[in-house]
Amino acid sequence: MSETKVFFGVSLELAGKTISLEPKNAITELKEKGIEVELPPGERVYLGTVGSSLNSIMSTLGVSSTEIDSFLDPTTGELKADALPDITVLQNASNVLVEAGLYVDEFHVRIP
């Protein structure tokens, strides 16, 4: 008869999205192998756009909301028009950047 193994999963919250990680080691193996979890193979987690995530990322890094609001529109996540010099190419490039999608394709954590 085969032995029943019990696993526990881990969920992380990143930029307001919950990411569920798959356990690699059974609870009975934690003492010798540690905790090891990863994003299931082939799973891709969409975190939103760079612009929509900038506020959350900057806040996590300790930037005050007053400083963030000085260059970033808090509702749209777009850079404010006066945050950059009046150079069309630079403003277009920044708009493309803030509209880029953020994804997590691979994530692996091992705690011995």
In a domain, 75, yes or no: yes
Identify the pLDDT of residue 83.
80
Tally of domains within the chain? 1
**What residues make up the domain containing 83?**
10-111
In a domain, 2, yes or no: no
pTM: 0.62
In a domain, 3, yes or no: no
Q: Give Cβ neighbours of residue 95 (< 8 Å, ≥ 6 apart).
A: 78, 79
Q: What is the pLDDT of residues 5-48, one digit of tens each?
A: 888 888 888 767 788 899 988 888 888 988 899 998 888 888 88
Question: Cβ distance 7 to 15 under 8 Å?
Answer: no
Q: Which of 94, 106, 111 is nearest to 39 (CA)?
A: 106
